[in-house]
Amino acid sequence: MRFHSATATGADLEAACRSVASAIRQGLGPGPIDLAIVFASPRYGAGIDRLPVLLHELLSARTQIGCTGAALIGDGHLLANRHGITVLAGRLPGVELHAMAIANGDLPDPDAPPSAWRSLLPIHHEDVRGMLVLTEPFHGDATALLAGLDYGWPNAPKVGGVASGSNHPDGNVVFVGRTVHRTGAVLLALAGDVTLQAVMSQGCRPIGRSGRITKAERNRLVAIDDSPARMFVEEQLMALADQDLDLAERSPLFLGIDVNPFAATATARSNYLVRNILGIDPDSGNVLVSDHLAVGRRIQLHLRDAATSQHDLHTRLAATHPHTAQAALLFRCLGREGADHDTFAALANGVPLVGFHCNGEIGPVGGSTHLQGYTAAFGLLRRRPQPPIDLPPNELP
């Protein structure tokens, strides 16, 4: 298994594609290319439709998948506010690759059995070693898709992100093969002699005490522990130490929702999905959150903290020995602080890494796959270890 990554900048799309393809060919040497994962700036506008065709003609990758990203990660650098393309390409002997586009109408009924989901892919579910999921931000139902993928393939790690870079509903794209899609998602399933390891790092840390939602209306948090939501927030802020209070005054507050719906209390090992606090209704005191809320869920306020997030990332990455990976993908929140690609390079110098800044990151939390915020989601690609061969004992003469 061998990978090479390349990045090109410039407003001339054809020239950028030629530059990337030349570097990939030079890095991999002669021979067919099995996989190309591509992230591109939406600054190319309508010309983005030509991107997968141009790259396919230049690389002839058997499987090609990608999307647009507001800022790109490649060649050890962050490319922001400019035209650019970054590509990870590789030869994967003994690996099966299945890529497809999925529209909302393709999703099985919520009450359908796992077999309905598994029918989406022409491969036995036990053979799938991991999935890459890319979605666009305006039309696709990512939550339903991820829940269904977990239902059909519970043992397969899933990582990915939501395309970014444009505020226009049709400005962000995902693509598979030579075809661009402006709605839905694209999926790459990997099977055979490969593993995909997901590494997740939070960009926020909890503050104050946790509480339980006792009343909520859609995205309106009404009461926590039977007290008005605004009162709960004010109490947590008043109890903060000076350093945290200073941080809270300089950055927005977030709400962490425990992924375990049955959690009785918060612990040091609690896993939270971090959601934006949109504001507080001055009349009712309800806290407005960027997600629907369920009564009974445990919550805790969170603050964005660059130092803590980088320490957390270094600890989690180091535990996975990233220098042993053949390649890596990084899906990073637009609002996350710190240089995650530098942290990776310090631990895995020479391992090809590409990625982009997302409108949401996809990865496992608490045993299930979720659409998250303010996180860094890494996918580490490795050759699957082969089991030892049982040889018969040597016969004595």
125 pLDDT more than 80: no
Nearest C-alpha neighbor of 33 from the set 64, 60, 12 = 60
pLDDT at 264: 64
pLDDT on residue 388: 59
**282-323 pLDDT, tens per residue?**
999 999 998 899 999 999 999 888 888 888 899 999 999 999
Tokens coding 45: 């506008």
Q: How far is CA 220 from the centre of its chain?
A: 27
- Counting every residue written for the chain, the total comes to 397
Q: Please say if the pLDDT value at position 244 is more than 70.
A: yes
Residue 241 confidence (pLDDT): 87
Count other Cβ atoms within 10 Å, centred on residue 191.
21
Q: What pLDDT score was predicted for residue 259?
A: 87
Among 361, 363, 362, 343, which residue's Cα sits nearest to residue 351? 343
With left for phi above 0 and alpha for psi between -120 and 50, is residue 379 left, alpha or beta? beta
Q: What is the pLDDT of residues 55-97, one digit of tens each?
A: 999 999 999 999 999 999 998 899 998 999 999 999 999 999 9
The residue-averaged pLDDT of 368-372 equals 92
Q: Who's near 69: CB < 8 A, 6+ residues apart?
A: 39, 40, 41, 42, 161, 163, 164, 165, 355, 356, 357, 358
Whether residue 395 has pLDDT greater than 90: no
Question: Which of these CATH numbers, 2.40.50, 2.40.30, 2.60.120, 1.20.1740, describes 204-304?
Answer: 2.40.30
- pLDDT, mean over the chain: 91
- Of residues 162 and 389, more confidence is placed in 162
pLDDT higher than threshold 80 for residue 390: no
For 238, the enclosing helix (H) or strand (E) is helix 229-238
Whether the predicted pLDDT of 242 surpasses 80: yes
Q: Which of 222, 242, 201, 206 is nearest to 338 (CA)?
A: 201
Compute the distance between CA of residue 340 and CA of residue 331 in angstroms, rounded to an integer: 10
Judged against a pLDDT cut of 90, whether residue 263 lies above it is answered with no
What pLDDT band is residue 222 in, cutting at 50, 70 and 90? very high
The single-letter code of the amino acid at 166 is: S
Instruction: Tell me how far the alpha carbon of residue 78 is from its chain's centroid.
Output: 17
H/E run at residue 212: strand 211-217
Token output for 350: 């020479």
Return the domain boundaries, the chain: 2-202+308-382, 204-304
Percent of the chain with pLDDT over 70: 95
pLDDT in tens, 321-368: 999 999 999 999 988 877 899 999 999 999 999 999 999 999 998 889
Q: Are 144 and 371 in contact (CB under 8 A)?
A: no
Q: Taking a C-beta distance cutoff of 8 angstroms, is the pair 190, 130 a contact? A: yes
Q: Give the pLDDT mean for 136-155.
A: 92
Q: Which residues pair with 365 in a beta bridge?
A: 368
State pLDDT tens for residues 148-192: 999 999 999 999 999 999 888 888 999 999 999 999 999 999 999
What pLDDT does residue 153 have? 94
Tokens of 363: 């990865």
**Residues near 219 by beta carbon (within 8 Å), at least 6 away in sequence:** 278, 288, 289, 290, 291, 292, 293
